[in-house]
Chains A and B, each alone.
Chain A
Amino acid sequence: MLEGLMIGLETAFSVKNILMVIGGCLIGTFIGMLPGLGPMSIIAIMIPVAISIGDASAALILLAGVYYGAIFGGSTSSILINAPGVASTVATSFDGYPLARQGKAGKALTVAAISSFIGGTVGAILLMIFAPALASVALLFHSAEYFALMVVGLSAIAAFAGSGQIGKAILMTVLGLMLATVGEGALFNMPRFTMGLMDLQSGLGFITLAMAMFALPEAIYLVLDPSRSNTESGNNEIKDLRITKAEARSIAPVVGRQSIQGFLIGVLPGAGATIASFLGYAVERNIASKEDQEQFGKGSLKGLAAPESANNAACTGSFVPLLTLGIPGSGTTAILLGALIALNVSPGPRLMIDEPQIFWAVIISMYLGNLILLVLNLPLIPYIAKILAVPRTFLIPFILFFTLMGAYIGQNNATELLILVGLGVCATILRFADYPLAPLLIGFILGPMLENNFSRSMQLYDGVSFIYERPMTMGLLIFAAILILLPSYRARRARLRAEGVADGD
């Protein structure tokens, strides 16, 4: 490990790569602040730039910098205007926005900056320690286990996203998997479910779906309800940047716990920063004292620190499955995976052995990126707020325009834009009815991989016998079933008890 670390230090601390980290963080932060442009779209836009660099480690360092910057920028808009540009910062707005409305925007941004920094740094340390171990475990994995692992990932996301309505979350996940079967698969040379349309031959565009699920419904919500974007009320004054000693003491355990928990969730394929932030918020709310619990949702510093440290740690954590197994832990890392393949790097267990300089340079640049973000964010806070005070009459057309561009640039196909609007309207209606949209997108991303591994195991074992012949597959699938059944069993019991039926058991 030490030897690898030295190679990483040598690569990451070249002038070029340091500039890449700084550039990536800056680009990510500024674009990430615009609601509607999440890390996914920014990374997608930056891919051509990264590929033109040619050097795989420099390109990956740049993209990783963009990733952190975007997550960080997203928290800024969540706190200041309650417009989370990124799904993983939605939980940040629960308490960040009330704080900003109380005139404590400066304090909120500082807490967010510091929690993110700690979350990211702890994540990078854990990545350094656990990635090699995970990589060796990964070598034991066959396609049957990959299949089971993805089922676990999907079940975990359905279980966490559902919050008592797990049926809806499962339906959304399966719907995402079904959408992924549209078009021509890799294993079978025949188009499926295209309804004879040429435009569907290559399947649905991933960015189109991402934009339609998150950015467009958010923009429609902003249009429908103008009070959601109060940018013209003079609430954006930044004062009182410092946090007191007592406050620091109260949030320290929260940050510590959530950095570790966030990292572990980020490692799970399919979970990622969004789930980590929601779960972090939920856990901290549950274990807080009665008085603290009252404060959650009304401007609690703990409620802000928890999702912030968790999502940054999870971003780092999601690099573990990407770099060691070749499985993206989130939509963003899925795009990164695409970029890696374009750069002729195949992520997987061999990466650490074949190209250690890439692997370790990325880890080192994570420390560097976190440090730069902290240095960047603290003095810039007053100015950042001013950029965001764009009136909504300008802001919304631009969000819509960037949404359209994101989908168009990827495919260069105007039909994609019509699909985007159609899916966006469907997503908004689903959101009205409280259906979680994240599982659908994750299902769509993992769909082809899930099917390919399933098919490969079926071919190798000439049927479904791989499920009971391989103990690890069996174990993982049982774990997935528990993840799904336990919360729904609990919710049902709680309901029955509330109705007085299950009294006495």
Chain B
Amino acid sequence: MALDRWIALILLLICMAYAYTAFFTMDASLAPFMRNTPIWPSTFPKVLSVMAMIACVIILLGFEESLSGPKDGDIDYRRLTDYKLGQAVILLGLMVAYALLLRPFGFLGSTFGFIIAGSMILGERRLHILIPVALIAAGSIWYLVQEVLGIFLRPLPFFMGV
């Protein structure tokens, strides 16, 4: 079974869970006076869930032309290991780490670390260029966002004040 049909199967399961909530559990908490109105909070989700399940089944049963092969210049998921999969996974991990550390470590430190680590994962070794670039980028963007645009970004780690 091609990847697109596997995805359709997974989406079908998600839609069934969504439909179950819409049809059976959501209306339990509805206020009594709202039961007389023609539209309930679950009305629209009910319609959507049915439509989505029909679309999933259409793809799953192959009524449509299925995925043939990768288009020119596109990535072929069947040969994913031929690509730089490791780098991509580590970079995604780095993004998760950035998300978790942004608050406790402060914007400046996390951003500096993120850019340095990201470049080094991709094979950059010229630290004499990398460090100033990361410093300038982190500093200038913090200044732009916090000082010019006025959106609060905690600059320093949590144990150093603000």
Nearest B-chain residue to A190, judged by Cβ: B41
Knowing A223-B91, A224-B88 touch, does A393 contact B124 (C-beta < 8 A)?
Answer: yes
Q: Which among A221, A401, A412, A458 has the highest number of chain B CB atoms within 10 Å?
A: A401
A394 engages B65 (CB within 8 Å): no
B123 engages A417 (CB within 8 Å): no
A171 engages B124 (CB within 8 Å): no
The A/B interface has a contact count, at CB < 8 Å, of 180
Pick from B2, B40, B96: contact of A418, CB under 8 Å: B96
A417 engages B99 (CB within 8 Å): yes
- Scan B95-129; emit 1 where CB is below 8 A from any A CB, else 0: 11011101100000001001100110011100000
B18 engages A417 (CB within 8 Å): no
B88 engages A417 (CB within 8 Å): no
Which chain B residues numbered 1 to 51 have a C-beta less than 8 Å away from chain A?
2-4, 6-8, 11, 15, 18, 21, 26, 29-30, 34, 37-45, 48-49, 51
Nearest A-chain residue to B144, judged by Cβ: A45
A171 engages B55 (CB within 8 Å): yes
B102 engages A167 (CB within 8 Å): no
Q: B51 contacts which chain A residues (CB < 8 A)?
A: 170, 174
Which chain A residues numbered 419 to 476 have a C-beta less than 8 Å away from chain B?
420-421, 424-425, 429-430, 432-435, 451, 454-455, 458-459, 462-463
Interface size on A, residues (CB 8 A): 68
Nearest A-chain residue to B21, judged by Cβ: A193
Distance of A432 Cα from B67 Cα, bound (Å): 10
B95 engages A400 (CB within 8 Å): yes
Which chain A residues numbered 246 to 273 have a C-beta less than 8 Å away from chain B?
none
Decide if the interface of chain A is mainly helix, strand, loop or mixed: helix
A394 engages B133 (CB within 8 Å): yes
Interface residues on B, range: 35 or more
A167 engages B64 (CB within 8 Å): yes
B102 engages A408 (CB within 8 Å): yes
Interface flag for A177 (CB, 8 Å):
yes
A164 engages B65 (CB within 8 Å): yes
Interface flag for A350 (CB, 8 Å):
no
Interface flag for A226 (CB, 8 Å):
yes
Q: B48 contacts which chain A residues (CB < 8 A)?
A: 174, 177-178, 181
Q: A164 contacts which chain B residues (CB < 8 A)?
A: 64-65
- Scan A43-54; emit 1 where CB is below 8 A from any B CB, else 0: 001001100000
Knowing A223-B87, A224-B88 touch, does A45 contact B65 (C-beta < 8 A)?
Answer: no
B92 engages A181 (CB within 8 Å): no
